[in-house]
């Protein structure tokens, strides 16, 4: 089978799609026949299969996670974990796909929508459309009950399901990134929380030059973020700052970077607007003068970023993050306050509404490859156990008895984080988190306590950011032809735009090179690109 997949992929790379489609039919057409014996369901023997595990900076070893072992025991399976660092997965994935040596299950965030649209119909991943109702009734129930969830899992090109994600309702993620500034340093320097872009510049300049941590060294980093546009993270980067000049920017959208839409449905390609140019020209001096940490553009993962927030004495004046607890050591969290959207030169204040683009509902955390033929019933039984309500909670938050507690009434709460350990270390050390699961809106504070970070963040984002969140990321639903275009010309345009954005922020020169930049975009086909994107199906603003 692996040889067949390799040959199929070679053909696919030569654009022989029709041939690959025939291979797909043969590999998936017999999935329901004879799987009972092959899967061990009639004999009671454990079914062994391999699965990927993407390990981030906080994750423990999946083989040591008791909740994953309990999951396997419930389904009578044995999982052989193939562990990969999240930071280097993209390159490894390409090698696995082109080589055809895929595991039985692509698990966690190993695939994106482009992979599914491109390879699903070719037979690389099994069609689960009819198998889920037959072998995974809890998953089917989630499809029926959670708005938008099944749509997120359906391949737009052929209407089939090749992947399953999660449906964890977290309103707080609609405004994923937050900005924090060191109030202790402000008080030390007799400064106020900045309200305008100019005041922001003045405060960061003071942080750099006036030794606010009092150690007699010029070791302060006035402001940091995660800005590697080759491996983007929308909840840790600076694009919403551009909103002070008219339009926030989102370089992290996998299919429609730099496109934004407003409440009226107007779609704008931000990276060609004069306001975008003015924003970059303004913030470029921050980078060149050492007010924005230049290393922020080169991080490969969050570990180097979080290291900046775990120094003693503290060296970080401000930062962008989903939550302050993800960057700052616990003993310093109270030193920081939230920075609201800044007023630009003409008083403009806007922010980004993320909506469905932030993984509240996702469809790409589980796929069965053609190499697992004959094991699909057992694997889907394992998947279905993910959707047991209590199991979903533990996969997302950690096991009861370790990271969670359960009272006599069955209510689930949080155990105390061990001393010397962050909550992220505690949680991710005991749970995979980014796996198929379902936690509905009504489950929070009824079955399980609202997440601690959500308790503190939700009222803040509603008060501080929601009033200014007038622009949203564009959540596209392209068909295969449109996806091919986005991964071809669209990708080329995006890479050029990102390269120039970082160049101008780190080196300057946008005013002098702007016209040349626009002319190059014209040569690359920007008008066609914008027309195609605007014509694609997309989720309306704020729709859940």
pLDDT tens, position by position, 273-295: 999 999 999 999 999 999 999 99
**What CA–CA distance (Å, rounded) separates 129 from 245?**
46
Q: Which of 541, 463, 462 shows the shortest CA–CA distance to 263?
A: 541
**Which class is domain 177-353+470-535?**
alpha beta
> pTM, whole model, 2 decimals?
0.77
What DSSP designation does 342 have? P
HSE of 495, CA atoms in CB hemisphere, 13 A:
9
Mean pLDDT (whole number) for 17-44: 36
Q: Which residue has the higher pLDDT, 307 or 47?
A: 47
Output b/e per residue, 361-385; b: 16+ Cβ within 10 A.
Answer: bbbbbbbbbbbbbbbbbbbbbbbbb
- Whole-number mean pLDDT of the chain? 87
pLDDT grade for 33, boundaries at 50, 70 and 90: very low
pLDDT tens, position by position, 500-520: 999 999 999 999 999 999 999
Domains 2-171+360-415+433-443 and 177-353+470-535 are alike in CATH topology:
yes
pLDDT tens, position by position, 424-457: 889 999 999 999 999 998 999 999 999 988 888 8
**What CA–CA distance (Å, rounded) separates 150 from 383?**
15
Mean pLDDT (whole number) for 359-364: 74
Token pair for 281: 């020209």
- CB neighbourhood size of 440 (10 A): 16
Token pair for 274: 């004069």
Ordered by start, the domain boundaries in the chain are 2-171+360-415+433-443, 177-353+470-535
**What CA–CA distance (Å, rounded) separates 251 from 233?**
9
Flag whether pLDDT at 496 surpasses 80: yes
Enumerate the H helices of 40-148 as residue ranges: 66-75, 89-99, 113-119, 131-135, 137-145
Mean pLDDT (whole number) for 109-137: 92
Output b/e per residue, 68-77; b: 16+ Cβ within 10 A.
Answer: beebbeebbb
Mean pLDDT (whole number) for 52-58: 91
What's residue 537's pLDDT?
66
What's residue 249's pLDDT?
95
Fold for the domain defined by 2-171+360-415+433-443: D-Maltodextrin-Binding Protein; domain 2 (3.40.190)
What's residue 360's pLDDT?
65
pLDDT tens, position by position, 62-72: 999 999 999 99
Flag whether pLDDT at 264 surpasses 80: yes
Judge contact between 370 and 2, C-beta under 8 A: no
* Sign (positive or negative) of CA dihedral 135, 138, 140, 141: positive
**What CA–CA distance (Å, rounded) separates 104 from 444?**
34
């Amino acid at each position: 089978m692996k040889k067949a997949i390799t040959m199929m992929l070679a053909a696919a790379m030569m654009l022989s799609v029709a041939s690959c489609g025939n291979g797909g039919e043969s590999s998936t057409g017999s999935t329901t026949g004879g799987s009972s014996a092959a899967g061990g369901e009639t004999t009671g023997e454990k079914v062994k299969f391999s699965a990927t595990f993407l390990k981030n900076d906080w994750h423990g070893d999946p083989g040591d996670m008791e909740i994953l072992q309990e999951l396997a025991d419930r389904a009578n399976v044995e999982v052989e974990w193939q562990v990969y660092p999240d930071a280097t997965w993209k390159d490894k994935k390409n090698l696995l796909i082109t080589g055809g040596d895929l595991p039985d299950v692509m698990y966690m965030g190993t695939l994106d929508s482009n992979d599914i649209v491109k390879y699903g119909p070719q037979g690389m991943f099994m069609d689960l459309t009819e198998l889920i109702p037959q072998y995974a009734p809890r998953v089917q129930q989630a499809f029926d009950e959670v708005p938008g969830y099944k749509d997120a899992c359906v391949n737009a090109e052929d209407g089939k399901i090749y992947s399953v994600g999660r449906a964890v309702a977290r309103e707080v993620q609609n405004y994923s990134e937050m900005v924090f500034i060191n109030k202790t340093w402000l008080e030390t320097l007799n400064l106020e929380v900045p309200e305008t872009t100019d005041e922001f510049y003045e405060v960061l300049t003071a942080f750099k030059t006036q030794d606010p941590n009092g150690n007699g060294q010029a070791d302060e980093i006035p402001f940091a973020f995660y800005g590697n546009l080759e491996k983007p993270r929308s909840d840790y980067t600076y694009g919403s700052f551009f909103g002070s000049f008219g339009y926030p920017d989102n370089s992290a959208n996998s299919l429609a970077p730099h496109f934004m839409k407003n409440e009226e449905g107007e779609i704008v390609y931000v990276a060609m607007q004069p306001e975008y140019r003015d924003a970059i020209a303004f913030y470029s001096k921050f980078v060149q003068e050492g007010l924005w940490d230049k290393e922020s553009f080169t991080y490969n993962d969050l570990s180097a970023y979080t290291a900046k927030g775990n120094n003693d004495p503290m060296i970080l004046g401000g930062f962008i993050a989903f939550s302050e607890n993800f960057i700052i050591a616990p003993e310093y969290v109270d030193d920081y306050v939230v920075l609201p959207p800044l007023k630009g030169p003409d008083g403009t204040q806007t922010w980004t509404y993320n909506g469905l683009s932030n993984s509240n509902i996702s469809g790409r955390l589980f796929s069965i490859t053609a190499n697992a033929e004959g094991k699909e019933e057992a694997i889907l039984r394992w998947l279905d156990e993910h959707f047991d309500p209590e199991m979903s909670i533990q996969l997302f938050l950690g096991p009861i008895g370790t990271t969670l507690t359960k009272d006599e009434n069955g209510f689930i709460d949080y155990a105390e984080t061990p001393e010397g350990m962050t909550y992220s270390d505690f949680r991710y050390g005991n749970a995979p988190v980014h796996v198929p699961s379902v936690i509905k809106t009504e489950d929070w504070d009824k079955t399980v306590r609202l997440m601690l970070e959500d308790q503190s963040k939700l009222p803040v984002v509603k008060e501080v950011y929601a009033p200014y969140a007038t622009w949203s990321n564009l959540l596209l639903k392209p068909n295969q032809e449109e996806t091919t275009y986005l991964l071809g010309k669209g990708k080329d345009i995006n890479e050029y735009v990102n390269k120039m954005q970082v160049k101008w922020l780190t080196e300057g020169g946008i005013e002098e090179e702007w016209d040349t930049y626009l002319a190059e975009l014209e040569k690359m086909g920007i008008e066609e690109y914008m027309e195609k994107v605007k014509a694609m199906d997309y989720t309306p603003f704020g729709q859940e």
